[in-house]
Structure 1
């Protein structure tokens, strides 16, 4: 069944949604995006995703044509129009259509705002039960990874390189340290039980799920170190895992073919996934009143 998508103020069947060939998101990669998870029809960690969207827009001098209340209402409405219980909402904002030029178009050029849904059972994830393997790949992305742009070609290439080497995903390495996964934050638990995750900077995306897991870990009395770690530290770790809005918490059980810990998802990783799902279910944003979809 065709999805209903949102494009620049219109609700359309997906086959009817058209974006200009001169859109700067297409011509220049001049666009940002955000992903919000839906569980039981409600929005998980929405305030964090909305705040990051606005930060990304500000960093690139993009205009988001909705205020906070309108943006939230739009998320609720797309869930209702697609009768979605579980899955993801993808939002993409570009600088709009203009004559091709490296310079930004004149002020007042309308941006392009696009939202669509992907149905997914976010609670059933075989990788969360058995873990994944990762391959280490050089990080060759641009220097502002703290902005959630649509420049995803190299992460895609890195993931395909990892798959060609028999791994499930890639961890990116720069100057001798792990930055992050192809589309997730990288974490390790060392032999002393300390949770180590890279400190925030322009080198990596400020993960919304990352922030939630660090908060939960602190509440459970886990010692946390926010610092860069090396591939050797990762290989020697007791546990390793990734976090993202699309997968919550997923164990990493092999790095470059080397077994991490005892080769099965670790206790802390499992506990953090369970705690995340439990707490996010109770704090998820459901519509406060029925959403009209006519």
Structure 2
């Protein structure tokens, strides 16, 4: 049984308990992060904690932990769970009140919970070993604050299930103007004419950490041009390459969208160059 952390205590995961009046349980009133760790080396730790702290501020949860406090917790959890290939899940809810009431309560102590789970080994830049993904598309029916990494994920779950039920690996979302925003659990990139394109950040999509690192790596260490602009659904279908990115997948190549073949139907050369550069610098952030 893996070891978890709950409110200052390390304990077996199956012994971790929260109050049924915890607002994370009742309302999804909290913020979370998932940080990959390979052999005890965290990927994107700084940006992940920056995003968590920003999210906590946006929903007015007061938890003044420093980056070093979070790093110590992550490293201790990884060590206690064998320092293999692990995802580190960090979760802060507003805490447990004495009643169920929608307004933010005063004087409530936030609940801090963390655990690890096994993940595959770090992706390698090798077309023969890379997994090709197939995805569905659908109109995004979630709330309009998707830039907040809230624990209230029912909308994402329902969209993911829609693709899963159709035998696909993900669901790419678009708005009422047929503009691609993100996927249910990933950011989206396309490649056209050698140019890497991804939707700009706004309230419609999460500022993904893999997205952030990938853009920075491509700009600093490759000659591949990167553009942040609107992508239409038609452009998605007619792209040379499509990628979905997340902390667990890194850069995942997509070869089928709604049953339509992307490009040649093979994993592309631009993906290979991007994954090569990403793999060389994944621990720099």
Give the whole-Å Cα distance in 1 for the aligned partners of 2:167 and 2:78: 36
Q: What is the CA distance between 1:202 and its match in structure 2? A: 0.9
Q: What is the CA distance between 1:69 and its match in structure 2? A: 1.7
- Aligned residue for 1:103? 103
Give the whole-Å Cα distance in 2 for the aligned partners of 1:83 and 1:241: 32
The 8 Å contact of residues 5 and 115 in structure 1, kept in 2 or not, is answered as yes
Q: What is the CA distance between 1:274 and its match in structure 2? A: 2.2
Aligned pairs for 1:22-101 (under 5 A) are 22-98=21-97, 99-101=99-101
Aligned pairs for 1:1-294 (under 5 A) are 2-98=1-97, 99-106=99-106, 108-123=107-122, 129-175=130-176, 176-190=178-192, 192-219=193-220, 220-281=222-283, 283=284
The 8 Å contact of residues 36 and 49 in structure 1, kept in 2 or not, is answered as yes
* Closer, same or farther: CA 160–128 of 1 in aligned 2, 3 Å: farther
The 8 Å contact of residues 172 and 182 in structure 1, kept in 2 or not, is answered as yes
The 8 Å contact of residues 122 and 247 in structure 1, kept in 2 or not, is answered as no
* Closer, same or farther: CA 15–164 of 1 in aligned 2, 3 Å: closer
* Closer, same or farther: CA 128–138 of 1 in aligned 2, 3 Å: farther
The 8 Å contact of residues 191 and 241 in structure 2, kept in 1 or not, is answered as yes
Give the whole-Å Cα distance in 2 for the aligned partners of 1:146 and 1:122: 28
Q: What is the CA distance between 1:71 and its match in structure 2? A: 1.4
The 8 Å contact of residues 123 and 250 in structure 2, kept in 1 or not, is answered as no
The 8 Å contact of residues 78 and 86 in structure 2, kept in 1 or not, is answered as no
Q: What is the CA distance between 1:127 and its match in structure 2? A: 10
TM-score by length of 1: 0.91
Q: What is the CA distance between 1:151 and its match in structure 2? A: 1.6
Give the 3-state SS of the residue equivalent to 1:58 in structure 2: helix
The 8 Å contact of residues 119 and 248 in structure 2, kept in 1 or not, is answered as no
* Closer, same or farther: CA 165–15 of 1 in aligned 2, 3 Å: closer
Give the 3-state SS of the residue equivalent to 1:241 in structure 2: strand
Give the whole-Å Cα distance in 2 for the aligned partners of 1:39 and 1:275: 17
The 8 Å contact of residues 215 and 226 in structure 2, kept in 1 or not, is answered as yes
Give the whole-Å Cα distance in 2 for the aligned partners of 1:64 and 1:185: 28
* Closer, same or farther: CA 32–268 of 1 in aligned 2, 3 Å: same
Q: What is the CA distance between 1:128 and its match in structure 2? A: 6.6
Give the whole-Å Cα distance in 1 for the aligned partners of 2:137 and 2:228: 20
Give the 3-state SS of the residue equivalent to 2:141 in structure 1: coil
The unaligned stretches of length 5 or more in structure 2 are none
* Closer, same or farther: CA 127–246 of 1 in aligned 2, 3 Å: farther
**Number of residue pairs aligned between Structure 1 and Structure 2:** 280
* Deviation string, structure 1 residues 112-151 (Cα, Å, up to 9, x no partner): 0000000122326899724111111110111111110012
Q: What is the CA distance between 1:211 and its match in structure 2? A: 1.0
Give the whole-Å Cα distance in 1 for the aligned partners of 2:21 and 2:249: 34
The unaligned stretches of length 5 or more in structure 1 are 285-294
Once superposed, what is the RMSD of the aligned Cα atoms?
1.6
* Closer, same or farther: CA 137–211 of 1 in aligned 2, 3 Å: same
Give the whole-Å Cα distance in 2 for the aligned partners of 1:257 and 1:43: 36
Q: What is the CA distance between 1:228 and its match in structure 2? A: 1.6
